[in-house]
Amino acid sequence: MIKHFSLSVFAAAVLASGPAHPAPAAPAAASQPRLLVVLVVDGLPNEQVQRYRAQFGQGGFRRLLEQGASFSNAHQAHGITVTAVGHAAILSGAYPYQHGVVANNWIDPVTHVSTYCTEDTAYTYLGEETKSSDGTSPARLRVSTLGDELRYASGGRAKVLTVSGKDRGAILLAGKTGTAYMYMDKSGNFASSSYYMAAHPAWVQRFQAARPQDRYYGKSWTPLLPAEAYAGDAEDPPAAANGGRNRFPFSYYSESGALDASYYARLRVGPYLDELTLEFARAAIEGENLGRNPAGVPDVLGVSLSSHDYVNHAFGPESKMSHDHLQRLDRMLAGFFSYLDLRVGRDNVMVVLTADHGFANVPEFARAHKHDAGRIRGDNMVAALEQHLAARFSVPGLVLASTAPNVLPNIYLDHELMEKHGLDSADVEQAASRFLLRQPGVNEVFTRSQFERGAAAPTRIAVLMRRAWNRQVSGDLMVVNKPNWFPGSGTGTTHGSPYNYDTNVPLMMMGRQWIKPGVYGQYAEVVDIAPTLAHLLRLRPPSGAEGRVLTETLR
């Protein structure tokens, strides 16, 4: 069907050089970054960064790890670890119960139909086909972001621009007053929407006219490193991508033999979409003169790199494909950082890198390593629940809707029907919970009544799930899988749970004017990023921010 409260203390307890450019600007007199670059690697578990770090080159992840501050115990500290929720947290500093983005899709409480996190039919893509479920605005984001606060404090003079391979990755980083650009699967362009502007600026038109996305047609993705570097990786995971092929080399083509939508969609799985995204980011820096704001105020560039998520979904984080993609991304980041040094100046740029969520291993791989693992058919589970409740209460139709089958069910009950038949909603929820807890792969079930009454046990999982639940838009029953179990009947793997493999993500900050290098073992959360940056930029924190300032990292 689908396309802290303040508990920080409690949770911590229970839980290639580029071309020549003009000389960079002098360091800001106010000792603030001239350009703040926020990088999000979609679907990157911190475990992968640590496992493959010895193979990184000198200028990418290794530079962040050695010249910046990095946290080994940083988390997306909410229970629904998916792209939209994670991106909404990064620059808002808020949990879903406040920022309102509770999933990639949820059920609209008025229409009772599936709603996409950034869809807004009042706006359309510029020069591109727009479907009703496409992401075009941040209307459903209920709080401000760091960029919004910077724009407000600077009287609109600061520039905030974001780019991503996914609409939700760009829009939720940009906030209400930034400008978002996203990859178009059908044309391979990066485009914005009419929410942000009436027409693309000239630099975007020039970028589109050059058609850089077409250069990869007929090219292949082959391993970057010698064969022995991948020893121990899963060579043939039970997954399929790029036309059913799951071995190197991967070719980028279309069945029609022409540059068409199937080719542009193929580019998402592999290194080339990220390469294009960083190329667009360079064009944005130059086109908008980011980091050289004539008003002397900082600018913000958000770059969400989407391909690692697609690769991990298809093959798993244990795969040779994921390993190689991360190494290629490392080299891309090295080139981008060198470009920033030349264009803006090392003393003028601060970089933050994190991820929106981690990843579970493919369940077949987990079982081979002696873990209890499997796949849950959420649609079958919900259908069986409907039958059970109809028999138990002699009222059919008590399940109004759910987010199954592609994610664990967030189940909505029909409150009007319950009231009509004199049923107590807490009784129906409890009966549903008992039934669901007997299903294979289910670990816990949380109900609306538990959350509203504060009756959920004070466990780490309960804290994370309560943060993920929004009173207005979330369902009446939230199902938590067992570790290493997840929804779906196909191949590959996914994310979305409150377990460490999904929550533990990189959190790195680099900027020698402001950040003390080091590896930090303190517990940290992604929601700490926005308050920390607000402190450095002398801004008020975003409206829903609940994180802490990471003072241990500051000079």
Environment class of 198 (CB within 10 Å of its CB; exposed 0-12, middle 13-18, buried 19+): exposed
pLDDT for 245:
46
pLDDT for 487:
85
The 10 Å Cβ neighbour count of residue 263 is 21
pLDDT (tens digit, 9 = 90+) per residue, 490-503? 788 999 999 999 99
Contact 514, 554 (CB under 8 A): yes
Q: Which residues contact residue 276 at a Cβ distance below 8 angstroms, ignoring those fewer than 6 apart?
A: 183, 188, 190, 212, 213, 267
Residues in the chain, how many? 555
Q: Which residues contact residue 383 at a Cβ distance below 8 angstroms, ignoring those fewer than 6 apart?
A: none
pLDDT for 273:
98
Environment class of 212 (CB within 10 Å of its CB; exposed 0-12, middle 13-18, buried 19+): middle
Count Cβ neighbours within 10 Å for each residue of 11-43 and write b for 16 or more, e otherwise.
bbeebeeeeeeeebbeebeeebbbbbbbbbbbb
Q: Which residues contact residue 457 at a Cβ distance below 8 angstroms, ignoring those fewer than 6 apart?
A: none
Short-list 397, 378, 377, 402, CA closest to 386: 397
Confidence bin at 28 (pLDDT 50/70/90): very low
The 10 Å Cβ neighbour count of residue 472 is 9
End-to-end CA distance of the chain: 49
Average confidence (pLDDT) over 17-40: 67
Residues of the chain with CATH 3.40.720.10: 33-118+139-181+220-362+498-553
- What is the pLDDT of the chain when averaged over all its residues? 92
pLDDT for 491:
81
pLDDT above 90 covers a percentage of the chain that reads 86
Residues of the chain with CATH 3.30.1360.150: 374-487
Domain covering 374-487: architecture: 2-Layer Sandwich (3.30)
Domain covering 33-118+139-181+220-362+498-553: architecture: 3-Layer(aba) Sandwich (3.40)
Q: Which residue has the higher pLDDT, 234 or 464?
A: 464
Rounded CA gap, 35 and 150, in Å? 12
pLDDT for 23:
53
484 phi and psi angles, rounded to 5 deg: 70, 5
pLDDT for 21:
53
Rounded CA gap, 445 and 424, in Å? 18
Ranges of beta strands (E only) in 253-365 are: 299-305, 349-354
Rounded CA gap, 6 and 288, in Å? 38
- Tabulate helix, strand, coil % of the chain (nearest 5): 35, 15, 45
Residue 318 has pLDDT above 50, yes or no: yes
pLDDT for 404:
78
Instruction: Give catalytic residues, as residue numbers.
Output: 83
pLDDT for 458:
87
pLDDT (tens digit, 9 = 90+) per residue, 344-356? 999 999 999 999 9
Average confidence (pLDDT) over 47-59: 97
Average confidence (pLDDT) over 151-158: 98
pLDDT for 235:
60
Contact 168, 87 (CB under 8 A): yes
Rounded CA gap, 319 and 336, in Å? 26
pLDDT above 70 covers a percentage of the chain that reads 92
pTM: 0.93
Residue 523 has pLDDT above 80, yes or no: yes
Contact 221, 270 (CB under 8 A): yes
Residue 9 has pLDDT above 80, yes or no: no
pLDDT (tens digit, 9 = 90+) per residue, 165-210? 999 999 999 999 999 999 999 999 999 999 999 999 999 999 999 9
Q: Which residues contact residue 527 at a Cβ distance below 8 angstroms, ignoring those fewer than 6 apart?
A: 77, 89, 92, 93, 94, 95, 545, 546, 547
The encoded tokens of residue 532 equal 């920390």
The encoded tokens of residue 44 equal 């990157």
